[in-house]
Amino acid sequence: MSKKLYIETLGCAMNVRDTEHMIAELSRKESYELTERMEEADLLIINTCSVREKPVAKLFSEIGVFRRRKKEGAKIGVTGCTASHLGEEIIRRAPYVDFVLGARNVSKVTEVLERPHAVEVSTDYDESTYSFGEYRSNPYKAMINISIGCDKQCTFCIVPATRGEEISIPPELIVAEAQKAAESGAKELILLGQNVNNYGRRFGAGVEASCDFTELLRRVSRVEGIERIRFQSPHPLHMDDAFLEEFASNPKICPQIHVPLQSGSSRLLKRMKRGYSKEWFLDRCEKIRETVPGVAISTDVIVGFPGETEEDFAETMEVVERVRFDQMFSFKYSPRPHTAAAEYEDQVPSEIASERLHRLQTRHDAIVDEIMALQEGTVHDVYFEELLPGGRVAGRSADGRLVSVEGSEELLGQILPVRITRARRRSLEGERIGSA
């Protein structure tokens, strides 16, 4: 008789992929089946994120809900980045939690089930050559980890402390996973890593490979059946000309790229230890715009980083005006444990940071409205992957925009031309050209 698994995932795409790996392991080795009702689950897992606002408070709030709603005898597990940095403290504060599994220890999920109060959070553990079972939450696209960990020491970021040093997954394993995805019907790949374009800098013990990210893109694009390739997230520091030329010339690589800015001030970028200047960032974005017509560029911005002056913030606004990002993930700085910036004495008052964030988001919303309005009347090839209420189907254009049309499930898994008839800030509506 199969057992039921309920799993809640917080945070980034890498966490989503880690969740898929845990589901695969638990179904393959322990016969678990997914459920959306925590009351019927035999095992409840929360896969946590340390980058979110107030991650520790969020964790203990959620597992408190798990405890109240779970059936008698059900187990609770805490996994992910917050699990990595809190470790045994989770068990001390919430002794009803049955196991804690760090972000670098996903392959051990079946091992900890039968060990009361097991804690596995080593950031030195290397699972870069581990072959996980097959599970994907979306049958039309496949997320593939190409590296684990991060070697950067950005002063605001906790990820190196929770995911360990950067190790690249051998290219032959990545290509094999892409082939399996294509054979099962996926036409799109999303390559994942903390800094994908730093791929190949270090492989695990015993692995002999010579392959950088540009070469990996070439190898993956040769997989038959794969029509679209996306990746997240590249680092501006490693956007050399060879990488950008491959991005521009490879027809399978989607014209969509995330270029995380963080700040437009070179002074603050140096204090953040980002490794690039405002001028370098603008140069890379200009080259992308010049070589990839119609490209969509997204970014991350932190407002109110320690020491940020009004002049620093004005430089961020200048970059936003010049690049005109298609999408922006913007946040007010908040200190994280195990980070240098948390100890800086010149923290920006919360009310000042909030006011700057409001100005930034208001201006960017106006820019997005202008960009989206220009989409009306254009034609996009849309990869349909989701049914919506009201007889509509949604998918993504090559440049990553969400597009919906009238239709039903026979459109799922197809790439079809769509003429845009209505633009909203976050999505587009259109009509199919021709028949499915």
Per-residue DSSP letters for 54-100?
SHHHHHHHHHHHHHHHSPTT-EEEEEEHHHHHHTHHHHHH-TT--EE
- How far from chain centre, in Å, is Cα 202? 21
Euclidean distance between CA atoms 155 and 257, whole angstroms = 24
Q: Which element (helix H / strand E) includes 312?
A: helix 310-323
pLDDT at 436: 46
Instruction: Put residue 214 in one of left, alpha, beta given phi > 0 → left and psi -120 to 50 → alpha.
Output: alpha
Look at the chain and count its residues. 436
Spatial CA neighbour of 197 closest among 146, 235, 171 = 235
Quote the CA–CA distance of 112 and 132 in Å, as a whole number: 16
Backbone angles phi, psi at 190, to 5 degrees: -125, 110
Q: b/e string for 78-94 if b means 16 or more Cβ within 10 A?
A: bbbbbbbbbbeebbeeb
Low-confidence residues in the chain, pLDDT < 50 = 436
Question: Could you read off the pLDDT of 148-187 as tens digits, one per residue?
Answer: 999 999 999 999 999 999 999 999 999 999 999 999 999 9
- Tokens coding 182: 């294509």
